[in-house]
Amino acid sequence: MSTNPFRLDGRVAAVIGAGSGIGEAIAKAAAAQGALVVCVDLDGGKAEAVAKAIGGSAVSQALDIRDGAATQASLDGILQKHGRLDACVCTPSINVRKTLLDYSEEEFDKVVAINLRGNFNVLRAAGRIMTKAGTGSIVLVSSIRSLTVEPGQGVYAMTKAGIVQMVRTAASEFGGKGVRVNALGPGVVDTPLTAPIKADKAWYGAYADKSILKRWATPDEMAWPTVFLLSDAASYVTGTILFVDGGWTAQDGRFTPPGM
């Protein structure tokens, strides 16, 4: 273990979804802690731009995580090129905001294909490599919606809860081979995915007021907890979800009694 357990020096980290938002922030934070970062994204151009912004040893590649064979080939390629894969983070997800009665089967399949199958493909591919190596840390991105919901979030919430159960199972299966698996549980974060909410002043304010800190999070505020989970500082942390939500899940938040 390093004298500074929060450092990632000498490690190779694949950050999937690194082209923007939380993934971009995680890629930059991991690099700042000394990791060789492979920026992976559906949009290869965006991934390349982030890798160039990081500089140094950072590289990039394009990947559609809905394709299981391509996902395995992508991570195998990282192993072959760099000789190791110590950390893997998967951030991509989509949300179709509709009530369950209004959802189409096509919309259901679209959300599940990325949020569940895509994350499964990454988890399986990274797990195969890391369990063979006897070391590694995997982080999938869940959400506060794995625990608390609202109208129009049914299918998204289902997938985010499913990610937590996949993480728990993987942690159980991989732990004996030296691999840790955890989930990050963001609250409301200012990213391209939440841009439609930010554009609605009332909706934006309501979400800010729901958290204890009375504001939205920045992508950087998701990045550093993720880097913690990847590092030796979290060497005894596995099979859990780390909520980074400004206190959203800690209080009901609907009403503060007089005099309190």
CATH for 12-244, options being 3.40.50.300, 3.40.50.720, 3.30.310.220, 3.40.50.450:
3.40.50.720
pLDDT in the model for residue 107: 98
Do 204 and 194 contact (CB within 8 A), yes or no?
A: no
pLDDT at 259 over 80: no
pLDDT at 150 over 70: yes
pLDDT at 21 over 80: yes
pTM score, two decimals? 0.94
pLDDT in the model for residue 191: 85
Catalytic-residue membership of 204: no
DSSP codes joined into one string, 167-192: HHHHHHHHGGGTEEEEEEEE-SB-SG
| Sequence spans of domains, the chain | 12-244
Q: What is the pLDDT of residues 96-121, one digit of tens each?
A: 999 999 999 999 999 999 999 999 99
Average pLDDT, integer, range 126-144? 98
Of 103, 156, 204, 236, the active-site residue reads: 156
Helices (H), the chain: 21-32, 44-54, 68-82, 105-112, 119-133, 154-174, 195-198, 201-210, 220-230
Residue 216 DSSP one-character state: P
pLDDT in the model for residue 254: 63
Average pLDDT, integer, range 2-16? 94
Q: What is the pLDDT of residues 73-90, one digit of tens each?
A: 999 999 999 999 999 999
CA–CA distances in Å: residue 211 to residues 103, 190, 215, 220: 28, 14, 7, 17
pLDDT at 260 over 60: no
pLDDT in the model for residue 255: 59
Any idea which of 4-18, 177-191, 202-216, 237-251 has the lowest mean pLDDT? 202-216
Q: How far apart are CA 241 and CA 225, in angstroms?
A: 11
Task: Please tell me whether residue 71 adopts helix, strand or coil conformation.
Answer: helix
pLDDT in the model for residue 200: 87
